[in-house]
Amino acid sequence: MEFSMKLTQEEKDILNGKQGPVMAKILKTLVWYGEIYGAKKLVPITHEGHLVTSMGIGLMKPVFRTMDEIINEGITSKWKFSVDPRPIDYKNVKCNLLNKLIFSKIMYSQQKHYEQQLEKVGLINKDAFTCACYLPQTGNIPKYGDILSWAESSAVVFANSVYGARCNRNSGMIDLFGCIIGKVPEFGLLLDENRKANWVIEIKTSKIPEAQILGSAIGIKVQDGVPFIKGLDKFIGEKLDENTMAYLKDMGAASASNGAVGLYHIENLTPEAKKYGNKIINKDAKTFIIDDKVLEETYKNYPILWKNENAKPKLCFIGCPHLSLEQLNSWTEKLVENLKTNGKNKLSVRTILTTSPSVKKAFEQTENYKKLIKTGAKLSSICPLMYTNNPIAGKQPILTCSNKLRTYSSARYKTDAEIIDIITGKENI
Ligand code: F3S
């Protein structure tokens, strides 16, 4: 086999079958993948993995076959991994009979089987199903400079930008293959030169921008560029505390889904911006100014995909990406307070807040959990997109404050404040 990538003797041996035919195929796939992007070598991973493929969709037969081949050969991953959220939670996200039939017999018929496969290959634990794997309760937190094999776009952009780790936006199965071999091809955001900003974003708004709309405006403009954001620290501070991290989680997910941002820097805040300052900006970087008008226009341009624009929302999803503990507390307080102000006891729209299984467990121990449940809201660890993305569930008028969910489904985006007003009965849509 001829490859243009420079390979070590150990890698050549694996490719020649010294560790069996399955390991040879896995490494060959990684090498080919790297060569497409011009990688010159493979580099070792230095931290746990995160897989994007969490759903046992019956149609993904090649994935289940590949997993069986790996398991039958007795292969386990060198680096254990967390996985994106589960697609179903019949207890907290109730479905009608038809929906349940579609989910269990057609769409996610292989869920149980696939989860068993993941456990055999290297799943961290049964609670490791979340896109926000880097929250402290789940604990898949990379260090500065760590090399990762992750794929979930919202997690990759967070790890690169907020922790200063190094990871490309890989695809499903490539993330797993990297964890098994313990190496990834070196290209893209693993290299210093590609971590330099080719856009300068100047924030000139009159107040703190809505994280989800700011991320969207940035993503739409820079696409897969690397933005250096100036003027945001004025609103969110210069410390990476829980609130700031939650803001960046939501902003980054919107930039990664409305565009294809894998890394951003924020002046005076994120590690590489702090370390290198303006030196991390390319000389020919373009500038984009974001003011109130740009944010307003961005929001106004979102298409409404509901069949009837004036329909009463049937369902509302809050938490894509999964909410942090701090966000759960803050949502609960706002919902309780606004219900009281509006003279209501219960939310007027079926509302699901989503978070990681380990954050859910921690939140369930608090007084706020009881308060949240009393409002009629439910707490789940599913991925709202996987729930929404089918012909039956997708036909419902669904509300969300997630720009990622809006982008990939027919759910309608509203800001956090608007969502609160609608679901606590202050105003109609
Ligand atoms: Fe997470 Fe699913 Fe949203 S993976 S970012 S909850 S689409």
For 421, other C-beta atoms within 10 Å of its C-beta total 17
Where along the chain do the CATH 3.30.499.10 domains lie? 315-423
Q: What is the DSSP string of 337-359?
A: HHHHHTT-SS-SSEEEEEE-HHH
For 305, other C-beta atoms within 10 Å of its C-beta total 14
Alpha carbon of residue 130 to chain centroid: 8
Residue 391 carries which side chain, given as an amino acid letter? P
Closest protein CA for atom 5 of ligand 1: 321
pTM of the model as a whole: 0.97
Please tell me the distance between residue 349's alpha carbon and the centre of ligand 1 in angstroms. 21
CA-CA distances (angstroms) from residue 257 to 155, 229, 252, 260?
11, 18, 9, 6
- State the virtual CA torsion across 92, 97, 103, 107 in degrees, nearest 10: -170
CA 232 to CA 406: how far, in whole Å? Answer: 24
Closest protein CA for atom 4 of ligand 1: 131
C-beta separation of 186 from 39 below 8 A: yes
The ligand 1 atom at the shortest distance from the C-alpha of residue 257 is 5
The CATH number for 315-423, chosen from 3.30.420.40, 3.10.20.30, 3.30.499.10, 3.30.300.130, is 3.30.499.10
The ligand 1 atom at the shortest distance from the C-alpha of residue 385 is 7
pLDDT tens, residue order, the chain (429 aa): 789 999 999 999 999 999 999 999 999 999 999 999 999 999 999 999 999 999 999 889 999 999 999 999 999 999 999 999 999 898 998 888 887 888 888 888 999 999 999 999 999 999 999 999 999 999 999 999 999 999 999 999 999 999 999 999 999 999 999 999 999 999 999 999 999 999 999 999 999 999 999 999 999 999 999 999 999 999 999 999 999 999 999 999 999 999 999 999 999 999 999 999 999 999 999 999 999 999 999 999 999 999 999 999 999 999 999 999 999 999 999 999 999 999 999 999 999 999 999 999 999 999 999 999 999 999 999 999 998 877 777 778 999 999 999 999 999 999 999 999 999 999 776
CATH, range 9-86+106-190: 3.30.499
CA 283 to CA 275: how far, in whole Å? Answer: 18
Please tell me the distance between residue 386's alpha carbon and the centre of ligand 1 in angstroms. 8
Nearest to 402 by CA among 390, 388, 222, 392: 388
CB proximity list for 365: less than 8 A, separation 6 or greater: none
Residues with C-beta less than 6 Å from any ligand 1 atom: 84-85, 131, 154, 253, 320-322, 383-385, 404-405
Closest protein CA for atom 1 of ligand 1: 321
